[in-house]
């Protein structure tokens, strides 16, 4: 727990101006290629989404919990049984994010204004302990800033856009250890004959209802 507490303290101390300068030095503009929203080599898209973010997406879309998020597959057996931690955005039959669609030969997020932190900040993450991994391999590092594989890297970004992205990235880097600490505090092992998801609010069934 000390390492998570240290991670949280370090995240709160992050300097937004320094983050923005690092982002500008790398450069980024979304090309709407869809690579970060779609299945990769047969592996279904996996993006972490937290309970509050799920409820936001529910409110925006009118969907039930299972149509927004699925149990994070790591730790589950081939039948989807067992204990796992946190949730992943739901996917369609092809393994793409359920909120992704093709639009005039480019990708489009249908919940763009309400998308989770991990989507808002891609292709960037911060090495504060990597509480939640970002998709895609790291291709560059600028101080604590990790840059993940993305065709949009190296494109011009305005100072205001870089600062807004830096603010969101700092907020994400605070929320992740907060969530992890709450998971640790509420975790109790369960003899799971079905699927049990442990998140910051306790143990839940696969449909998001409390166990």
Phi first, then psi, for residue 136 (nearest 5°) are 85, 140
Mean pLDDT, to the nearest integer, of 92-103?
93
- For 132-185, write each residue's pLDDT tens digit: 556 678 888 898 899 999 999 999 999 999 999 999 999 999 999 999 999 999
Within a 10 A sphere around the Cβ of 105, how many other Cβ atoms? 6
**CA dist., res. 57 & res. 53, Å (int):** 6
Q: Collect all residues with Cβ–Cβ distance below 8 Å to 45 and sequence separation of at least 6.
A: 37, 38, 39, 88, 89, 91, 95, 96, 97, 100, 135
pTM for this prediction: 0.92
Largest CA distance in the chain: 52
Q: Among 44, 43, 45, 63, which residue's Cα sits nearest to residue 55?
A: 63
Beta-bridged to residue 141, according to DSSP, are 146
CB hemisphere CA count around 184 (13 angstroms): 12
Percent of residues, the chain, with pLDDT higher than 70? 95
**CA dist., res. 128 & res. 140, Å (int):** 16
Q: Look-up: residue for tokens 């972490």?
A: 48
27-36, 129-138, 174-183, 188-197: least confidently modelled range: 129-138
As a dihedral over the C-alpha atoms of residue 126, residue 169, residue 113, residue 70, rounded to 10 degrees, the angle is 40
- Give yes or no for residue 131 having a pLDDT over 80: no
């Amino acid at each position: 727990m000390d390492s998570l507490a240290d991670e949280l303290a370090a995240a709160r101390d992050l300097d937004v101006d320094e983050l923005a300068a690092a982002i500008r030095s790398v450069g980024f503009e979304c090309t709407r290629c869809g690579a970060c929203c779609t299945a990769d080599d047969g592996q279904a898209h996996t993006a972490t989404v937290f309970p509050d973010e799920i409820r936001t997406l529910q409110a925006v879309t009118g969907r039930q919990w299972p149509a927004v998020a699925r149990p994070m597959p790591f730790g589950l057996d081939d039948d989807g049984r067992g204990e796992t931690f946190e949730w992943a955005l739901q996917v369609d039959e092809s393994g793409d994010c359920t909120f992704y669609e093709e639009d005039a030969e480019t990708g489009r997020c249908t919940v763009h204004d309400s998308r989770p932190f991990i989507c808002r900040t891609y292709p960037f993450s911060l090495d504060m302990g990597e509480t939640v991994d970002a998709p895609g391999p790291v291709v560059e590092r600028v101080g604590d800033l990790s840059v993940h594989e993305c065709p949009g890297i190296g494109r011009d970004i305005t100072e205001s856009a870089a600062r807004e992205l830096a603010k969101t990235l700092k907020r994400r880097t605070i929320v992740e250890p907060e969530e992890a600490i709450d998971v640790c505090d509420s975790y109790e092992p369960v003899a799971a004959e079905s699927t049990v998801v442990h998140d910051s609010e306790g143990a839940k069934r696969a449909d998001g209802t409390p166990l």
